[in-house]
Each structure stands twice: as C-alpha cells, then as structure tokens.
Amino acid sequence: MRRFPKLSQSSLALRVPAIPALVTAAALLIGCTDETLAGYGAAGKVWHLTLLDDQAFEAKATLTFPETGKLAGEAPCNRYHGNQTAPYPWFEVAALIATRTTCPEQASETAYLQALQQMSEAEVAGNVLILRNEAGREMVFEARP
C-alpha cells in the first residue's frame, strides 16, 4: 500500500480556497465576453445604411447595438428593435418588432427591413459595417456621429 505524505491543516487552508476563487474568476471572464457583432466593434456607434445591393440608399435607415444580443434603429418610417445573438461573423435577426407608422418612404422601409432579416454574415472594419448573405445581397453601413 502506497503512503502519501500527511498534509498539515495550514497547507490545506492555502490550497482549498484557491480553487473556488479560480472557478469564480473563470466564470466571470466567460460571462463578460460578447461574441456577437457588438463585441467586435459594432457597439457604441450609429450605423447609417449607404448601400443596399450596390445601390445608393437615399432614405434614412440606422442600426445600433444598444446591449449584448440586441439591435435597434430607425427605418425610413418607423423605429425597430430585435435580437441578434449569432456569434461573429454570423448575423441573424430574431424577434424584430417595429412601430406601425406609414409614410411616403414605405417601399424603402419594406426593402430595408426585409433585407436586414435576410442577412447572415457581418464584417466590421473601422467605420464600415457590411452585412451580406449567401444569395449575394449586401448592405453597407457607415458609422457617423
């Protein structure tokens, strides 16, 4: 039978509390990481749509990431918000809700919101955000003050 050295009470006291502290620190680090688009440079900016499928988008449309897992903005006629929890570089809009005001730019609003929900990939490079999908559709946003 193998004998192990006897540990003193003081040596156990030094080792045992360190384990819960390490587990807690690791959990905090994991919980603080935002793996969505917002965590990769898109948060804290107001993104203005400039191009939709290589065509200038003349109406006003914005996109923001106000908190982890959320998106919001203004379409040409209405405000909207929803969820975006896909890990970067993927992009997926879920539970999109918009107010219901009609306006002369209703066609632009419909085009914008439909395109936004069809995007599946994102790329952030400084003040440019590009959303695209497998079908070749693309939305180009610029961050402006």
DSSP-H helix ranges across the chain: 9-15, 18-31, 106-118
What the chain holds in terms of domains, given with CATH numbers, is 37-143 (2.40.128.270)
Question: Which of 2-16, 29-43, 53-67 has the highest average model confidence (pLDDT)?
Answer: 53-67
**Per-residue model confidence as pLDDT tens digits over 3-27:** 545 545 554 444 444 444 433 333 3
So what's the pLDDT on residue 6? 57
Between CA 123 and CA 2 the distance in angstroms is 59
**Per-residue model confidence as pLDDT tens digits over 67-102:** 999 999 999 999 999 999 899 999 999 999 999 999
Confidence of residue 34 (pLDDT cuts 50, 70, 90): confident
Q: Of 137, 124, 116, whose CA–CA distance to 55 is shortest? A: 137
Q: Which two tokens stand for residue 34?
A: 């935002």
Between CA 118 and CA 124 the distance in angstroms is 18
